[in-house]
Each structure stands twice: as structure tokens, then as C-alpha cells.
């Protein structure tokens, strides 16, 4: 009698679990992602998948705090390419073209494994990346699916041991994943609020050569809570350590200013600049302004992993040093519409920049820090 009651109870519990609603949009088998010791957020948008016999992972694993695999990631939206590279004793890189079915490394070798774009996320074949950059990856079967674990070679831990240790975190991410799925289903289309973002996105780019002038420009940018990109000469990089660290702390973009007409190759100048920048502020950059640039020097810089600036407006010959100059610049920017990059050279001063920022603020325009995806 007691056994029949227990059996009935177990059957009822089983039916309850089987009949519990699961969000219709949730995947039946999920792929968790972990980088080194971190289990990442579980989302349909960034979930790894198999295609053509290759395992694809989101390119986002190479960005973000706590996900440092030692591989830098640079997408170029204009060129529809993705660059992965490492800066060690020997430079190594992989370039994926979204319009081609192969990747190419810095030695010209072709690998017929293409990138795949789903929504706004680019996915890359992890086997090729691991082989080229000396990483490790594993696919471990876990509750509800699989764990894709990408890591550096010094992560000395058995796959199953790591999966067991990460179980509680995966449980948490899975529960959050289900909640997000339910929340998305509950939101009716009419409840979605339209975007309230207005105005233009303006990327001001200046040459950083004179420390006194650079400091005054930084003061004005701080006053208006605005950002710009400072392309630094080698001389400035050697003596402007405090200002470089201030730029980094306040979110200003830092680039390197070099001259193709100099007696040293552009790539050598850029490497020297990055070494000086790293010594001063513990950061590196891929942004570059090449004075007297020709097709050859630009191609050499790009092949070395740098992103030469190609501004929409070159205003270096028109000093941003007065109210009239600021008004003219705003008119030029407004006439183009949308997203605009502006090269100011070394012509801007605090008065002209302040007037421009005030006018841009009144027009709901935003002055942002240059990024490698914009330049």
C-alpha cells in the first residue's frame, strides 16, 4: 500500500515537471560559454553553434572585462572585416572578411573557414583561432546541453573538473536565460518605446603635440562631458605621460600620429609609438593618423593591424579658434548628417572648441571618442 502511494506521488511530481511551461523561444539544448574562469551570460544572440563541421563562438568573447585571452579584436564595419591579433615577441594576426569564405593570416596563408554573422553578432570558428593563437578549447556535455570552454594554455584544470566547478554558475545563467525569454514573450509590440536619441554623432580628431594646448582641450572636453581622439606625436608620447594617463582615465581616445615622409617606415614609427604609449599609460592603440599618406603607407599600416584615419571632413587648414570657425564647422557637420569624423589637426584651441561643443550640445549632437570601428 505504502509503495503504491509513493509510486503515485512520484508520478504526480514527474507530471508536474513535464507540464511546467517552458518559454517557447528557449532552446531545448543550450550551449554555455566560458572564457578562462568566467562563465558568460547565456543568450540566444551569442550562443555557440556548429556549422559546416566547425564550432562557432561569438566574437564578443574577445572583448569585455575579465575575458582577456590575450587576443585583441578589431572589427572594421566599413571594410566588412574582422581582425584578431596578438602583440608578443612575434606578431600574429588573422583577418576574416564577411564577404568571403576564407581567413588570411599575417604571412598570407589562407584558411577556408568563414565568419558568420547572425543579427548584430559575428561568430568565428574557434578551432582555427585556437590553432593560430595557441589557445585551448573544449566542448563538455553538461546539464541542459554543452559547455564550450575557451582558455589560455596556463589554465591547468581538467575539463570535467571545471564543468563541475562551474555548475552553480551555469544554473544561475540558465535561470536568467529562461526569465529573459519569458519577459520577451510578455512584452507586446505596442509597449516598445521608440528611440529618443536625436542629433548627430561627431568624432573630433586632433593632433596632440603641444602639452599645454592638449591640457586646455582636455579641460574644455571635461567641462562639456564630451570626448575626442588625440593622435599623439612621438615627442608628445615621450613627455606627456600625465596627460596620456588623464586621457585614458576620462575616456578620451588615443591614436598615433606619424609621417609617411619621415626617414623611418610608417610601421616602425607606429610600433615605437605604441611602445612609448604602453610605458606611459599601460595601454596600446590601433588608431593612426598618417601625414603625407599614400596608398602604400596606408596598406602597410593596415597589414600591421592599425586603423588609419580617413576623416569625412579634413579641417586642419581651417583653425578651430574662433566663434566664426566653430559655427562654420557645425554647418559643415550638419550638412553631412548622421555620423561624421572630423580631422582638426593641431589647429584647435580651447576657445574655438568650447564654442563648438556648446553649439553641438544645443543641437543635441554628441561628440564621442573615436573607436576602431568608426575610423
- Exposure of 270 by Cβ count < 10 A (0-12 exposed, 13-18 middle, 19+ buried)? buried
Which DSSP state fits 23? -
Q: Span 270-284, mean pLDDT?
A: 91
Distance CA 249, CA 41 (A): 27
How much is the pLDDT for 375? Answer: 60
Given a cut of 60, is residue 18 above it in pLDDT?
Answer: no
- Would you say residue 361 lies in a domain? yes
Residue 4 lies in a domain: no
pLDDT at 374: 65
**Residue 115 confidence (pLDDT) above 90:** yes
- Whether the CA torsion 40, 44, 46, 50 is positive or negative: it is positive
Q: Which of 182, 210, 227 is the last residue of a domain?
A: 182
- Whether 97 is covered by a domain: the verdict is yes
The pLDDT value recorded for residue 192 is: 46
> Do 259 and 149 share a domain, yes or no?
no
173 and 224, same structural domain? Answer: no
Would residue 374 count as lying in a domain? Answer: no
What length is written for the chain? 375
Last residue of a domain, one of 130, 148, 182: 182
pLDDT at position 20 is 38
- If one compares 108 and 136, the residue with the highest pLDDT of the two is 136
Contact 235, 346 (CB under 8 A): no
pLDDT surpasses 70 at 4: no
- State the average pLDDT over residues 157-170: 90
In this prediction, residue 281 carries a pLDDT of 86
Domain for residue 190, yes or no?
no
Integer Cα distance of 140 and 32 in angstroms = 10
Mode of pairing for the β-strands spanning 116-118 and 121-125 = antiparallel
Beta carbons of 369 and 228 less than 8 angstroms apart: yes
Distance CA 325, CA 66 (A): 44
* DSSP strand pairing (287-291 vs 307-308): parallel
pTM score of the predicted model: 0.52
In a domain, 20, yes or no: no
- Residue-range definition of the domain harbouring residue 290: 201-367
Both 216 and 323 in a single domain? yes
- Look at residue 254 and tell me if it is in a domain: yes
Average pLDDT, the chain: 84
What is the count of structural domains for the chain? 2
For residue 25, what pLDDT is reported? Answer: 52
112 with 213, same domain? no
CATH for 286? 3.20.20.370
Please tell me whether residues 281 and 234 are part of one structural domain.
Answer: yes
Kindly indicate the confidence band of residue 186, based on its pLDDT and cuts at 50, 70 and 90. low
Q: How far is CA 185 from CA 22, 45, 79, in A?
A: 11, 16, 36
Report the pLDDT value the prediction gives residue 22, as an integer from 0 to 100: 43
Residue 111: pLDDT above 80? yes
* 108 plus 215 within the same structural domain: no
- Write down the pLDDT at residue 335: 87
pLDDT band at 373 (very low <50, low <70, confident <90, very high): low
pLDDT in tens, 299-311: 999 999 999 999 9
Q: What is the mean pLDDT of residues 59-72?
A: 76
Amino acid at each position: 500500500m505504502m509503495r503504491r502511494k509513493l509510486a503515485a506521488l512520484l508520478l504526480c511530481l514527474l507530471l508536474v515537471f513535464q507540464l511546467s511551461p517552458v518559454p517557447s523561444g528557449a532552446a531545448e539544448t543550450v550551449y554555455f560559454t566560458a572564457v578562462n574562469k568566467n562563465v558568460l551570460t547565456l543568450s540566444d544572440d551569442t550562443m555557440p553553434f556548429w556549422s559546416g563541421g566547425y564550432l562557432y563562438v561569438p566574437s564578443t568573447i574577445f572583448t569585455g572585462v575579465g575575458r582577456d585571452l590575450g587576443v585583441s579584436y578589431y572589427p572594421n564595419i566599413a571594410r566588412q572585416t574582422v581582425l584578431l591579433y596578438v602583440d608578443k615577441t612575434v606578431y600574429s594576426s588573422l583577418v576574416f572578411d564577411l564577404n568571403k569564405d576564407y581567413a588570411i593570416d599575417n604571412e598570407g596563408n589562407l584558411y577556408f573557414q568563414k565568419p558568420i554573422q547572425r543579427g548584430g553578432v559575428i561568430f568565428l570558428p574557434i578551432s582555427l583561432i585556437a590553432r593560430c593563437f595557441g589557445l585551448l578549447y573544449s566542448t563538455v556535455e553538461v546539464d541542459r546541453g554543452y559547455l564550450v570552454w575557451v582558455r589560455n594554455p596556463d589554465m591547468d584544470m581538467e575539463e570535467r573538473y571545471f564543468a563541475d566547478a562551474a555548475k552553480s554558475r551555469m544554473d544561475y545563467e540558465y535561470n536568467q536565460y529562461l526569465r529573459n525569454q519569458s519577459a520577451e514573450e510578455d512584452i507586446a509590440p505596442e509597449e516598445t518605446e521608440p528611440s529618443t536619441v536625436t542629433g548627430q554623432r561627431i568624432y573630433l580628431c586632433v593632433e596632440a603635440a603641444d602639452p599645454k594646448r592638449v591640457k586646455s582641450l582636455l579641460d574644455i572636453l571635461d567641462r562639456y562631458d564630451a570626448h575626442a581622439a588625440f593622435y599623439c606625436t612621438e615627442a608628445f608620447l615621450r613627455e606627456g605621460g600625465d596627460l596620456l594617463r588623464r586621457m585614458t582615465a576620462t575616456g578620451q581616445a588615443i591614436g598615433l600620429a606619424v609621417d609617411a615622409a619621415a626617414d623611418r617606415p610608417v610601421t616602425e614609427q607606429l610600433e615605437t609609438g605604441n611602445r612609448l604609449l604602453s610605458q606611459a599609460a599601460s595601454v596600446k592603440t590601433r588608431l593612426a593618423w598618417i601625414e603625407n599618406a599614400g596608398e602604400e603607407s596606408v596598406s602597410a599600416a593596415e597589414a600591421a593591424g592599425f586603423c588609419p584615419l580617413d576623416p569625412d571632413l579634413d579641417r586642419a587648414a581651417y583653425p578651430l579658434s574662433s566663434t566664426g570657425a566653430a559655427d562654420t564647422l557645425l554647418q559643415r557637420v550638419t550638412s553631412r548628417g548622421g555620423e561624421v569624423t572630423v580631422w582638426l589637426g593641431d589647429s584647435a584651441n580651447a576657445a574655438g572648441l568650447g564654442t563648438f561643443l556648446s553649439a553641438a550640445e544645443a543641437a543635441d549632437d554628441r561628440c564621442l571618442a573615436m573607436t576602431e570601428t568608426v575610423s
